[in-house]
Chain A
Amino acid sequence: MSEFFAMGGYGTYVWAAYAVFFVVLAIDAIAPLLQRRRALRELGNRLKRQAARNSR
């Protein structure tokens, strides 16, 4: 098993490359989730304010 992680002496480079792949794509995958949630929340708040203003 440790042989597998050593990657014939290239472990640092190989695993760093895979780590970059996962970290960058994980950030890329989360970004649209946050954007969508923020867009809906901001619009929801705006509509609520509008409704409150109109009811006065």
Chain B
Amino acid sequence: MNPLVLWFHKLGSPPYFYTFAGRLLPWLYGIALVGSLAGLYGGLVVAPSDYQQGDSFRMIYVHVPCAWMSLFAYLFMAANGFIALVWRIKLSETLAMAAAPVGAAFTLITLISGSLWGKPMWGTWWTWDARLTSELVLLFLFIGVIGLYHAIEDTRQAARAAAFLALIGVVNLPIVHYSVIWWNTLHQAQTVNLMGASKISASMLWPLLTLAAATHVYFFASVLARSRAMLLVLESGKDWVRTLAQNEAARSTEAAHV
């Protein structure tokens, strides 16, 4: 077998994944932190104010990266859910379920920051615009997946049921993405275009792309950190977790004696 495929198989083993993710985590958190600080500096200080929206446009630097992440997180959750349902890989179940709360967090930020942006620009906190409504549905889907996962006693069965729900919810993703094109309502159409020219100046664009990259890295950091914690519970009967718990207990009693 080719070494990359071999390594991928090895990564599917929980103890190997646990160690590997633990080694990767500080780097991911570090890169995400440095990236977002650079992006925030660029967005809040370097970028000029908008000719129409003044300084209120600076909310784009939290709103848009989080909106992209909400869709990306859902796609990641659904893809892992699909793998979990078809090939019954335990790690994929874990990754899918770990992505749900992170995706919910990003969706929540998107909705709140959008509301805060809507008030001064549109004159309203909320409206049942197609984009806003479909993004709210996305939040409910995340919450539904989390709720279903916690409602079923058997963790693996719960993960598969929740993964199935996540897969059904995929129909909402194109609706969120194309809502600004299909329905002509309040939310503006996209400004940044990956496939063509963006309708935004470079000085405003680079902080946005930097923050988008940083939030992606953060997403993976959070998912890996959550997966590690979930694997400890899932595999609590296994030797590798027992050894970890015993070491931890020994360390904490030592700390108590000092």
- Chain A residues near B (Cβ < 8 Å): 4, 7-10, 13-14, 16-18, 20-21, 24-25, 27-29, 31-33, 35-36, 39-41, 43-45, 47-48
Q: How far is the CA of A25 from the CA of B109 in the complex (A)?
A: 9
Interface residues of chain B, those whose CB is within 8 Å of chain A, are: 29, 40, 44-45, 49, 54-56, 58-59, 62-63, 66, 101-102, 105, 108-109, 112-113, 116-117, 119-120, 218, 222, 225-226, 228-230, 232-233, 236, 241-242, 244-246, 248-249, 252
The residues of A that contact B105 with a CB separation of less than 8 Å are 24-25, 27-28
C-alpha spacing A16/B118, complex, angstroms: 13
The answer to whether A28 and B116 touch across the interface, beta carbons within 8 angstroms, is no
The docked-state distance in angstroms from the alpha carbon of A28 to that of B241 is 24
B218 shortest CB reach to chain A, Å:
7
Docked-complex contact A16 and B248, CB < 8 angstroms? no
Shortest Cβ gap from B34 to chain A (Å): 15
Q: 29 A-B contacts, Cβ less than 8 Å apart?
A: A8-B56, A10-B54, A13-B56, A13-B120, A14-B59, A17-B59, A17-B116, A20-B109, A20-B112, A20-B113, A20-B116, A24-B108, A25-B218, A27-B105, A28-B101, A28-B102, A29-B29, A32-B229, A35-B230, A36-B229, A39-B229, A40-B232, A40-B248, A43-B232, A43-B236, A44-B246, A44-B249, A47-B242, A48-B249
Bound together, the chains give a CA A10 to CA B60 distance in angstroms of 13
Most buried by A among B45, B63, B245, B246: B245
**In the complex, are the beta carbons of A8 and B113 less than 8 A apart?**
no
Are A18 and B232 in touch, CB under 8 angstroms?
A: no
